[in-house]
C-alpha cells in the first residue's frame, strides 16, 4: 500500500524509518520531509497547510493511509478533511485534537471527569491573571493555552518571573492557564487509541531543559531514553486506569472520540501519577527511542488503530534500552543561525546499533546544512541505558558541527539507578 507521512522533523524521520521496514508498504511519501527522510521516501513539494492539495495528491498517487506526524495540521483539521474525502488517516479529528490545542480544554475535561492533574485557573483578562499570580504560592506554572511547539510553559520562581510569563502568554491574545507546580519525576506515556480501545506503548523520559543539569530554558526536547524506570508496572496500571482510559471514555461521551496516539506528560508525585498535559501525536524526541525499541510492524499497528481493532492487536518490544541525543543550533531555543554545515553524519550512523535521525536538514549540492533549531537526533540501542548512552555519544563525537551544541547528560537519572548512585 502507498502511505503519505506528513511532517519534516526527527519524529517523522523515525516514523519513516519504521514504516519503511513494513512488508505491507508499497511506496512511502513524506511531505515536506528533510534530507534524512529523502533517503527513505519520495518527498513531494506539498504545502501541508493546503488540505485540498494534500487530498488531491492522495487521490492521484492512490494513497491508502496518511500518517500525520506534527500537531499543527491535526489542530487545523487535516484529519477531518482527509476522512471527508474517503482517505484513511492516522490522527485525531480537529475536535479531539483540542486535547493538545487548548490547555484550558484539557484542564476542564480533567476537572469534569476526575482525572488527576494540578490545580489550575484559566484567564483571558490580563489584570485578573496578574492579580492571581501575585497571590499564588511559588513556584507557579504559567502555560500558553494554545500550541507553542513544546516551549509555551514557564515555571516561575519569583513574582517578577510569573508576571512576565503572564504578559508573554497573553501578548498574542487568547488565554493563559495558571497552575500549581507539581513535585516529582516526569515521564512520558504513550498509548494507541482507536476511539474506544487503548494499547499502551513503551515508556520514555525526555529532557526539556537546554543545558546539562536540567538548567536553561525549556525546549522541544534535548534528548530522551526508554524505558523509564520510574514507570513500574504498578504505575503504568494506575496511569491507564486513572488517566488514559477515563480520557478516552470522556472524549467518546462528548461525541469527539479520539483516534491516534495519545501522549500523556506525567508527573509522578507522592500521590501517584498526575497529568501535566496531553499531546495528540508521538513525542519528539521520544518517538526516536520508541521506534528503535519497537519489534512489531508499525504500519500494521497504525492500521489497527484506524480500523478500530486494537482489541485484537498487541505489540512486541526489544528488551534493550534506547537513548537519543539531540544536536541543536547554537542559540536554540532562542535565535539561532541557519545554513551551517554538518559533516560526519555517515560516520556517526556507522556506529553499531545507531540511527541518525534528521530533524531540520537540507542538501545544498554535496553539503548537508542545518535549517532549524533541533537538527539531528543521534539514537542508540543497547542492553542498558548506560551502554546506549556510551554508544550514542560515541556516534555524536564523529559529527563535525561547530554551529551546534548538545547536552552531555542525557539519561542521567536512569544511569544513576543502574549504577546505584
Q: What is the CATH number of the domain that holds 174?
A: 3.30.1490.20
Q: Is-contact 262 280, C-beta < 8 A?
A: yes
Q: Is the pLDDT of residue 7 over 60?
A: yes
Over residues 122-141, the mean pLDDT reads: 92
If asked whether residues 168 and 208 sit together in one domain, one would say no
Closest among 284, 316, 71 to 201, alpha carbons compared: 316
If asked whether residues 290 and 354 sit together in one domain, one would say no
Q: Each residue of 47-104: pLDDT tens digit?
A: 999 999 999 999 999 999 999 999 999 999 999 999 999 999 999 999 999 999 999 9
If asked whether residues 73 and 135 sit together in one domain, one would say no
Q: Each residue of 234-268: pLDDT tens digit?
A: 999 999 999 999 999 999 999 999 999 999 999 99
If asked whether residues 301 and 383 sit together in one domain, one would say no
Answer whether residue 302 is part of any domain: yes
Full-prediction pTM beyond 0.85?
yes
Q: What is the DSSP string of 96-108?
A: TTHHHH-HHHHHH
Residue 177: predicted pLDDT: 93
Answer whether residue 210 is part of any domain: yes
Q: Which of 312, 333, 362 is the last residue of a domain?
A: 312
Q: Where is pLDDT greater, at 220 or 288?
A: 288
Closest among 152, 151, 193, 174 to 280, alpha carbons compared: 193
Over residues 177-200, the mean pLDDT reads: 95
Answer whether residue 19 is part of any domain: yes
Could you give the CA distance from residue 362 to residue 57 in angstroms, rounded to a whole number?
Answer: 23
If asked whether residues 300 and 348 sit together in one domain, one would say no
SS3 state of residue 30: strand
- Kind of pairing, strands 63-68 and 88-90? parallel
Over residues 135-154, the mean pLDDT reads: 82
Q: Is the pLDDT of residue 151 over 70?
A: no
If asked whether residues 297 and 225 sit together in one domain, one would say yes
Q: Can you give the residue range of the structural domain that contains 410?
A: 321-419
3-state SS string for 62-91: CEEEEEECCHHHHHCCHHHHHHHCCCEEEC
Q: Is-contact 107 177, C-beta < 8 A?
A: yes
If asked whether residues 198 and 229 sit together in one domain, one would say yes
Q: Is-contact 379 288, C-beta < 8 A?
A: yes
Q: Is the pLDDT of residue 394 over 80?
A: yes
If asked whether residues 306 and 229 sit together in one domain, one would say yes
Q: Is-contact 92 106, C-beta < 8 A?
A: no
If asked whether residues 270 and 303 sit together in one domain, one would say yes
Closest among 92, 63, 65 to 80, alpha carbons compared: 92
Q: Is the pLDDT of residue 403 over 60?
A: yes
Instruction: Tell me the pLDDT band of 174, cut-offs 50, 70 and 90.
Output: confident
Place of cell 523515525: 14
Instruction: Tell me the pLDDT band of 150, cut-offs 50, 70 and 90.
Output: low
Task: Determine how many CB atoms are found less than 10 A away from the CB of residue 164.
Answer: 14
As for how many domains the chain has, the answer is 4
If asked whether residues 41 and 141 sit together in one domain, one would say no
Answer whether residue 110 is part of any domain: no
Partnered with residue 225 across adjacent β-strands are 205, 323
SS3 state of residue 163: helix
Q: Which of 271, 293, 312 is the last residue of a domain?
A: 312
Answer whether residue 103 is part of any domain: no
Could you give the CA distance from residue 181 to residue 179 in angstroms, rounded to a whole number?
Answer: 6
Eight-state DSSP code of residue 310: G
Q: Is the pLDDT of residue 172 over 80?
A: no
Integer angstrom CA distances of residue 334 from 69, 160, 213, 292:
24, 21, 19, 30
Q: Is the pLDDT of residue 147 over 90?
A: no
If asked whether residues 287 and 341 sit together in one domain, one would say no
Q: What is the CATH number of the domain that holds 225?
A: 3.30.470.20
Instruction: Tell me the pLDDT band of 218, cut-offs 50, 70 and 90.
Output: confident
Answer whether residue 40 is part of any domain: yes
Amino acid at each position: 500500500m502507498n502511505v503519505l507521512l506528513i511532517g519534516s522533523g526527527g519524529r517523522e524521520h523515525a516514523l519513516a524509518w519504521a514504516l519503511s521496514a513494513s512488508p505491507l508498504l508499497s511506496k512511502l511519501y513524506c511531505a515536506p520531509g528533510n534530507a534524512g527522510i529523502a533517503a527513505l521516501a519520495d518527498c513531494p513539494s506539498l504545502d501541508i497547510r493546503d488540505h485540498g492539495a494534500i487530498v488531491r495528491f492522495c487521490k492521484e498517487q492512490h494513497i491508502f493511509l496518511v500518517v500525520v506526524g506534527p500537531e499543527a495540521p491535526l489542530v487545523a483539521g487535516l484529519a477531518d478533511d482527509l476522512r471527508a474525502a474517503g482517505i484513511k488517516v492516522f490522527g485525531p479529528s480537529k475536535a479531539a485534537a483540542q486535547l493538545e490545542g487548548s490547555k484550558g480544554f484539557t484542564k476542564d475535561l480533567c476537572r469534569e471527569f476526575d482525572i488527576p492533574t494540578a490545580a489550575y485557573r484559566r484567564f483571558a483578562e490580563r489584570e485578573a491573571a496578574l492579580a492571581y499570580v501575585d497571590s499564588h504560592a511559588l513556584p507557579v506554572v504559567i502555560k500558553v493555552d494554545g500550541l507553542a511547539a513544546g516551549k509555551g510553559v514557564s515555571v516561575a520562581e519569583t513574582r517578577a518571573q510569573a508576571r512576565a510569563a503572564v504578559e508573554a502568554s497573553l501578548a498574542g491574545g487568547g488565554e493563559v492557564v495558571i497552575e500549581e507546580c507539581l513535585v516529582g519525576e516526569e515521564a512520558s506515556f504513550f498509548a494507541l487509541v482507536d476511539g474506544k480501545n487503548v494499547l499502551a506503548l513503551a515508556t520514555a523520559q525526555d529532557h526539556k531543559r537546554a543545558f546539562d543539569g536540567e538548567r536553561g530554558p525549556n525546549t522541544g526536547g534535548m534528548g530522551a531514553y526508554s524505558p523509564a524506570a520510574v514507570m513500574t508496572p504498578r504505575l503504568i496500571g494506575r496511569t491507564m486506569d486513572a488517566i488514559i482510559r477515563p480520557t478516552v471514555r470522556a472524549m467518546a461521551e462528548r461525541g469527539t472520540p479520539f483516534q491516534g496516539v495519545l501522549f500523556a506528560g506525567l508527573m509522578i508525585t507522592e500521590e501517584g501519577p498526575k497529568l501535566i498535559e496531553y499531546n495528540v501525536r508521538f513525542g519528539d524526541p521520544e518517538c526516536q527511542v520508541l521506534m528503535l525499541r519497537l519489534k512489531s510492524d508499525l504500519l500494521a499497528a497504525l492500521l489497527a488503530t484506524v480500523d478500530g481493532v486494537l482489541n485484537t492487536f498487541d505489540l512486541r518490544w526489544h528488551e534493550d534500552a534506547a537513548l537519543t541525543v539531540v544536536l541543536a543550533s547554537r542559540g536554540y531555543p532562542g535565535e539561532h543561525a541557519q545554513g551551517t554545515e554538518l559533516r560526519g553524519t555517515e560516520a556517526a550512523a556507522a556506529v553499531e546499533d545507531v540511527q541518525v535521525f534528521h530533524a531540520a536538514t537540507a542538501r545544498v549540492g554535496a553539503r548537508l546544512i542545518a535549517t532549524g533549531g533541533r537538527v539531528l537526533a543521534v539514537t542508540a540501542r543497547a542492553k542498558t541505558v548506560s551502554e546506549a548512552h556510551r554508544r550514542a555519544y560515541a556516534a555524536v563525537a564523529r559529527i563535525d558541527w561547530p554551529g551546534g551544541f548538545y547536552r552531555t547528560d542525557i539519561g542521567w537519572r536512569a544511569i544513576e539507578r543502574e549504577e546505584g548512585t
